[in-house]
Amino acid sequence: MVDTVSLTSLLKNPDVAHTFSGADVPDDDLLHDCVHCGMCLPTCPTYRLTGQEASSPRGRLWLMKSVTEGRLDLLDPEFDEQMYQCLNCRACEAVCPSGVQYGPLVEASRAQLEQHRPRPLWQRAGRKVGMEWPFADIRRFRALVSTIRLYQRSGLASFARKTGILRVLRLETLEAMVPPIQEKPLVSGTESWTPQHAERTVHLFNGCIMSTVFAGTNRAAGRVLAHNGCSCDVPAGQQCCGALQIHSGMMDEARRLARINIDSFERFGTDPVIVTAAGCGAALKEYGHLLKDDPAYHDRAEAFSHRVKDVSEYLAANPVQPPRNAEPVTVTYQEPCHLAHAQRITEQPRDLLRKVPGLNLVEMRESSLCCGSAGIYNVIRREMADELGDRKAGNIIDTKAEQVVTANPGCAMQLRTSLKRNGSSMPVRHVVDVLDAAYGGEAAARSGTWAIDRERSSVS
């Protein structure tokens, strides 16, 4: 039974002045799919932490419906609070017997808030500097990460930590979240991996964080794909996928990036587009929905989305070369929400890990419960993100595993920070990093099984 007492108390303003209007209105038909059964409630992290109906998927859908029907003002602060307290983890969607498409509904609700709700100057400035500017052009993002890399390697990082300046500038958490950046960025259009006898061709989606902070993982994916008979390149001209923008209600900017990516990959034929980040993969697979009202791009977006495959999804669907090198280690697997719930990919990463000789895979409790990363949630909603991160770290530590494996950069950073806060320095790895090591890594690649071409194109 819906807790209507706490929800109806929100309907305090009978003179509703603002309702959904303009672009990106939550689809009324999708809202009516909810039959209020409550089956989604136990899977929802915010409901589990708060026990409040308004903080549950059913409660939030009820709030959206109330705005649609003119019973709740769009600008009511509680509506804003609930739309952004949600992690958009989509665990509710995966268990819903009515097939409610919760993700598109909460994303459209946020887009409505950003169109109609006046934000204070500091919030608008924060969005411009933190969200719009760095992600609008991959070259900018790359320059930013290269500066962070220099900061980490120059000794400035330990100086800043010792002096406490990071605390004064409120950058302590953000700084702690970025792992040591080991490799130089992977610039799209400059590297490819080609086996001697290529059976298939694939194109790597490079991403913003994956091509910079986790460039080594993208290169590992290229090597693993080549080891499995794929000629793999990284098409030039691609940009950030737009997932962070979609989650923050910045739909026009997300559409701009989507059009650039579609154009870039169309130039390279119709082969599969391989993704190493669960969040990017989920966004790329939904370009058709994002561009549904754009007659010039809708069909092309649908065609592009059909090409998109998570790296573990693609590898597991084809014959996989058995890895030779033993990895005698116990690992546990953390399911990224946008892989397990949005893309429904759960078994493939586990199956791939089990192929590694000597590797012992143990399951943690609540492996599919959100770790609290959720895009930039762990930056803007620290309290709840930390609570989820601590819970996740506890579950991981309880397995007594030596390493934790995941498939999304946001999760990797959140897991590392949460484990550290809970006294563990357990390594966090990507599925393809584990496979790459078991195939012999870059050394094996260079020994002649396949060629690595770093000069194929100089266009970025």
Contact positions vs ligand SF4 (CB under 6 A): 34-40, 43-46, 57-58, 60-61, 86-92, 96, 98, 100, 102
DSSP count for the chain of H helices, then E strands: 28, 10
- Residue by residue, DSSP assigns 366-433 as TTTS--S-TTTHHHH-HHHHHHHHHHHHHHHHHTT-SEEEES-HHHHHHHHHHHHHTT----EEEHHH
Tokens representing residue 46 in the block: 């915010």
Rounded CA-CA distance 135/37 in Å is 39
Which CB, 34 or 438, lies closer to ligand SF4?
A: 34
Residue number with CB closer to ligand SF4 (40 or 413): 40
Q: Are 98 and 30 in contact (CB under 8 A)?
A: no
State the minimum distance, in angstroms, from the CB of residue 278 to ligand SF4: 14
**CB 86, min distance to ligand SF4, A:** 3
Query: Of the two residues 38 and 130, which places its CB atom closer to ligand SF4 in the complex?
Result: 38
**C-alpha to C-alpha distance for 314 and 319, rounded to whole angstroms:** 10
**Shortest distance, position 38 Cβ to ligand SF4, whole Å:** 5
Residue number with CB closer to ligand SF4 (87 or 220): 87
Q: Which sign does the torsion angle of CA 246, 252, 255, 259 carry?
A: negative
Closest distance to ligand SF4 from the beta carbon of 175 (Å): 27
Least distance (Å) between residue 88 CB and ligand SF4: 5
Query: How many other CB atoms are found less than 10 A from the CB of residue 20?
Result: 19
Identify the three-state secondary structure at position 339. Answer: helix
The whole-angstrom separation of Cα 450 and Cα 314 is 20
- Amino acid code (one letter) for 404: V
Shortest Å distance, C-beta 309 to ligand SF4: 23
**Residue 138 or 411 with smaller CB distance to ligand SF4:** 411
Least distance in Å: CB of 289 to ligand SF4?
16
Provide the CB-side half-sphere exposure for 272 (13 A, CA): 20
End-to-end CA distance of the chain: 55
DSSP state, 456? Answer: S
Cβ-based nearer residue to ligand SF4, 205 or 377: 377
Token pair for 143:
């320059």
Q: How far is the CB of 354 from ligand SF4 (least distance, A)?
A: 29
Pick between residue 32 and residue 446 the one whose CB is nearest to ligand SF4.
32
- Please check whether residue 170 is in contact with residue 160, taking contact to mean a CB–CB distance below 8 angstroms: no
User: Nearer Cβ to ligand SF4, position 40 or 209?
Assistant: 40
